[in-house]
Amino acid sequence: MAIISEPENARSRRTREALLAAARAILEEEGFDALAMGRVAERAGVTRRSVYLHFASPADLVDALFDYVADVEDLDGSVARVWAAGDAVAALRAWAVHLAEYHLRVLAVDRAVDRVRRRDSAAAAHHRRVLAAKRGNCRRIVTWLHDEGRLAEPWTVPSATDMMNVLASSDVVEGLLVDRRWSRRRFAEHLAVLLESTFVGDG
């Protein structure tokens, strides 16, 4: 069976999007273990064969979810506001806003994947891709601080990247926005203060 990697017509694109939307909904509502191809087909209102026309395996479906969720939730647009900041310190503040806004919207998917990533290779691959993207953004901000001479001692680019990446974790987002019921504004403001006081030197 030939796999449709890039849908060329509107109907095929709608089917692919319906399958990915169904997969996301199942993840958020029922957990990763419920993400079977037949279940996705049923939720999307298509045949099981239609699923395999677009995705060769459940692993391919999970891999495609990264780009789908990022596109639906406008990851590129959210991060673009960080890079549009006038300097590295302003970028830190924009990063805090990005985490408060974007990561709350994708938290349910992230948590569903995290629960099973140690025993499921597809979930593990998705998790690594998410971490790599987030870490890459953290490193870019830290490098910006370093290049402007604003990175506080004793931080280095690698050590500050590691710490900032941990502070951007879903545990932090969930712990404050969900468990403690902080508003997104409060989260962004306090995280910005924390990031600045931790990583910005006198320069």
Flag whether the pTM goes above 0.85: yes
The pLDDT averaged over each successive group of 10 residues in the chain (203 residues) is: 57 91 94 92 93 90 91 95 97 97 92 91 91 96 98 98 96 95 97 98 80
The answer regarding whether domain 73-199 maps to CATH 1.10.3720 reads no
Considering only CA atoms, give the Rg of the chain: 19
DSSP characters over 92-157:
HHHHHHHHHHHHHHTHHHHHHHHHHTTT-HHHHHHHHHHHHHHHHHHHHHHHHHHHTT-BPTT--H
- What was the pLDDT predicted at 198? 97
pLDDT of res. 78: 95
Q: CATH 1.10.10.60 region(s) of the chain?
A: 10-65
Instruction: Determine the pLDDT at residue 86.
Output: 95
**pLDDT digit string, tens, across residues 71-129:** 999 999 999 999 999 999 999 999 999 999 999 999 999 999 998 999 999 889 989 99
Identify the sign of the CA torsion 149, 152, 156, 159.
negative
Give the 3-state secondary structure of residue 193. helix
In whole angstroms, how far apart are CA 162 and each of 36, 136, 142, 156, 187?
Answer: 35, 10, 10, 10, 20
DSSP, collapsed to helix, strand or coil, labels residue 84 as coil
pLDDT at 176: 97
Partners of 200 in the β-ladder: 151
pLDDT at 132: 95
Q: How far is CA 118 from CA 67, 71, 114, 169, in A?
A: 22, 26, 8, 17
| C-alpha separations of 101 from 17, 75, 158 in Å | 23, 10, 26
pLDDT for position 96:
98
Whether domain 10-65 has CATH 1.10.10.60: the reply is yes
Can you give the pLDDT at residue 2? 45
Looking at residue 1, its pLDDT comes to 45
- Please list the residues that pair with 151 across neighbouring strands: 200
User: Is residue 160 within 8 Å of residue 151, measured between CB atoms?
Assistant: yes
DSSP letter for 176, please. Answer: I
Locate CATH 1.10.357 in the chain: 73-199
Angle at 98 between CA 95 and CA 104, to 5 degrees: 135
pLDDT of residue 11: 84
